[in-house]
Structure 1
Amino acid sequence: MITYPQLRPNAAIGVTAPSSGVQAELHGILLEAIAKLKNEGFDVIPGETPWTQHKAKSSSAARRAAELNAMMADTNIGMIIPPWGGELLIELLEHLDFASYPAKWLLGYSDTSILLLAMTLRTGIATAHGTNLVDLRGEYWDETTAAWLQALRTKTGESIVQQSSPLFQREWDFETPSPCVFHLTEPTSWKSITGRPVHMSGRLLGGCIDIVRHLAGTPFGDIAAFRKRHIPGDPIIWYFENCELRTTDLKRSLVQLKLAGWFEHCSGLMFGRSAANAPVEDYVIEDVYRDLAEELGIPVIYDIDCGHVPPQITFINGAYAEIAVTDGKGTVTQYFRP
C-alpha cells in the first residue's frame, strides 16, 4: 500500500539542504523563493544548511541528516523542499531515520531524487519529483511548474491530470531575468521510439539516473521488496532524466538496473529532455531508447517534461499513472491509489 501525505492549507514548509547549500553570493535567489512562497500563504521555516556550501555539500553528512530528521519529526512542518540538488546526498542515506518518518511531502529533483526514491522504496510514502525551491521565485509560475501545488493537494483516492508543456527552455539565461524565471521558447514535443501513439499504465518510480542508479544493490534500492510489500500485482512505469551522462554511460547504467531487476514487471520507460546525451561515435540517444524498447519489449517515450531542461511535470513516486502520448502531446493522469 502507498501512503500519500496531505498538504494542509497554509502549511509550514521546511527548507533544508540535504545535498548542496546556496553560496553567499546567491542567497538573493533563495530569499526570493522564500518570499514567493510566503506570498502564496505558506509559513516557511529555513534551517541552517541552505545558507552554507563547502567542498561540494552544504555541511557534513551528520549535520545534514540531523536537520532533515528534525524537520521530518517536527509536526509544525507540513512539507520539505530543498533549495536545489547537488552532488553528495547519497552520504545521508545511512543516517536517516526512515522507520520513524511520518507521511510528509518531499519535493525536488536532481540529487534530491535519490532521497525521494529511497524514501518511497523504504517506507511506501509517496514523494514528489518536480520543481526545486529556487525555481519557485519570480512573479509567476508557468502552468506546468505551478501544478506542483495542485498535485500535492490531491487527496488519497483522487486524481490529477497534467498535460505536456506548450514550450520548454533550451538554455539558462541568468543575465536576463524574466518574470517567470524560465525562458520558455522552444515547442515541446513528446516522442515515442516507434513514432506511434503510446498508452501505458502502472506505478510511477524514477528520478535523475546519474544519481538513482547508485541505489541498485543497496538496502535503499530493493525494488522486489517494495513491489511485494507496497504495490503487489501492479507494474511499474519508470521515468528518468539524464543530467550529465554520455550515451554509452547511460546505456551501461540502464543495463545495470536491468540486471539488478529494476525493470521486471515494467510497463514502460519515460525519459526527460536532456542537454547531455552526447553521442559516442555514431551511437546516439535514439539508439539507446530503441535498444531498450527491443530488449525489454515495452514502450519507450522521451523528451518529456522532466529534469534539468524545464519546465517539469510533478511526478508522484508510488502513484498509479496512465500516460498517453499522441502527435507530440502527452497526458499524465495520476491516481492517488493506496
Structure 2
Amino acid sequence: MITYPTLKNNATIGVTAPSSGVEQELHEMFKQACNRMEEKGYQIECGETLWTQVKAKSAPAEKRAAEFNKMIQDESIDMIIPPWGGELLMEILHKLDFNAIPAKWILGYSDTSVLLLAITLKTGIATAHGTNLVDLRGEYSDNTTAMWEAVLTANDGESIIQHSSEKYQKEWDHENPSPHVFHLTEETVWKTISDEDVLVKGRLLGGCIDVIRHLIGTSYGNVLDFQKNTISGEPILWYFENCDMPTTDLKRTLIQMKLAGWFDNCTGIMFGRSSANHPVEGYQVQDVYREFESELGIPIIYDIDCGHVPPQMTFINGAYAKVKVDNGKGSVEQWLLS
C-alpha cells in the first residue's frame, strides 16, 4: 500500500543538496527563495551542502547522504525540498537508510527524481515530482507551479485536480528577471500521437528519464515487485521528461525499460516538453513516440507540463490518477489512495 505524507501549516522545510549545491555567486538567489518561503509562513532549515559545489556535486557522497539521513529522520523537519537537481545523486543511494525514512514529503525534479522514485519503489512512501526550491523565489507564482501546496496538503483518500498551463516558457531571459520567475510566452498544447482526445488511468510513476533509467537492474528500481506487492497489481501510468538525450538515446532507453518489465501492465506514457530530443539523421521525437505507441498498444501523450521547460504540475509517485487530454488541454486528477 502507498503511504502519503501530509504537509501541515507552518511546516519546517529542510533544504539539503543530495545532488548539486549552489555556487557562491548564486547564494543570494537561493537566500531569496528561502525568504519567500518564510514569508509564506514556512520555517526553513538549510543544510551545509546547500552552499557548496565542487566537481559536479555539492559535497562528497558520504556527506550528502549523512545530511539527507539526518534531515529525513529529524522529527522537527516536516518536508524536504532540494535547491535543484544536478548530476550525481546516484552516488548516495546505497548510503541512505531506507528503513528509517518516515512519511514526509520530498519535492523536486531533474536529478532529484532518482531519489523520489527509489524511495517510493522501495518503501511505498509517496514522493512529489514538481518544482525545485529555486523556482519558488518569485514575488508571485504562476497557477500551475503554485498547485504544489494544494496537492501536498491533500489528505488520504482525497483527490486534487490540476489543469494544463495556459502558456509555457520557451527560453530563460536572466537579463530581465520576472516577478513570476518564468517568462511564460508560448501557448501550451498537450498532444497525442493519434491527434484524438485521450483518457488514461493508473498509478503514477516517473521522473527525469535521463537519470531514473540508471535504476534499472538495481534494488532501487524494482518496478515489478512494487507493482505486485505495493499496489496489488494495479496498472502504472508513467510520466517522463527528457533533459539532455537525443532521440536515439531516448529510444534505446525506452527499449531497455520495456525489456526490464517497466511497461508490463501499463496504461499509458506521458512525456514532458523538452528542449532536448535532438533528431538524429531525421529521426524525430514524434517518430519515437509513434513507434513506441504502436509497439506497446497504449496511448502516448506528450508536451505535458512536466520537467525542464516550465511550468510544471506536481505528480505524486504512487497516487492513482486520471489523465484527460481534450482538444489540446490537459487535466490530471490524483487520488491519494493507499
Specify if TM > 0.5: yes
The one-character-per-residue Cα deviations of 1:35-86 (angstroms, maximum 9, x if unpaired) are 0000000000000000000000000000000000000110010000000000
Q: Does 1:143 align with 2:140?
A: no
Structure 1 unaligned runs (5+)?
A: none
The letter of the residue matching 1:30 is: F
Q: What is the alpha-carbon distance in structure 2 between the residues aligned to residue 35 and residue 166 of structure 1?
A: 28
What SS does the aligned partner of 1:220 have? coil
1:90 corresponding residue in structure 2: 90
2:326 corresponding residue in structure 1: 326
Q: What is the alpha-carbon distance in structure 2 between the residues aligned to residue 284 and residue 177 of structure 1?
A: 33
Q: After superposition, where does 1:3-18 map in structure 2 within 5 Å?
A: 3-18=3-18
The letter of the residue matching 2:127 is: T
The one-character-per-residue Cα deviations of 1:129-157 (angstroms, maximum 9, x if unpaired) are 00000000010110000000001001100
Task: For residue 233 of structure 1, report the CA deviation from its aligned partner.
Answer: 2.6
2:213 corresponding residue in structure 1: 213
Q: After superposition, where does 1:117-196 map in structure 2 within 5 Å?
A: 117-196=117-196
1:32 corresponding residue in structure 2: 32
Q: What is the alpha-carbon distance in structure 1 between the residues aligned to residue 107 and residue 247 of structure 2?
A: 28
Q: What is the alpha-carbon distance in structure 2 between the residues aligned to residue 140 and residue 127 of structure 1?
A: 25
1:108 corresponding residue in structure 2: 108
The letter of the residue matching 2:199 is: H
Q: What is the alpha-carbon distance in structure 2 between the residues aligned to residue 318 and residue 250 of structure 1?
A: 24
The letter of the residue matching 2:114 is: I
What SS does the aligned partner of 2:121 have? helix
TM-score, length of structure 1 as denominator length: 1.00
Residue identity over aligned pairs, in percent, reads 63
1:197 corresponding residue in structure 2: 197
Task: For residue 228 of structure 1, report the CA deviation from its aligned partner.
Answer: 1.3
What SS does the aligned partner of 1:31 have? helix
Task: For residue 8 of structure 1, report the CA deviation from its aligned partner.
Answer: 1.1
Structure 2 unaligned runs (5+)?
A: none
Q: What is the alpha-carbon distance in structure 1 between the residues aligned to residue 173 and residue 258 of structure 2?
A: 37
Q: Does 1:69 align with 2:108?
A: no
* Structure 1 residue ranges, 4+ long, deviating more than 3 angstroms after superposition: none
TM-score, length of structure 2 as denominator length: 1.00
Q: What is the alpha-carbon distance in structure 2 between the residues aligned to residue 233 and residue 69 of structure 1?
A: 31
The letter of the residue matching 1:270 is: M
The letter of the residue matching 1:111 is: D
What SS does the aligned partner of 1:219 have? coil
1:287 corresponding residue in structure 2: 287
The letter of the residue matching 2:231 is: I
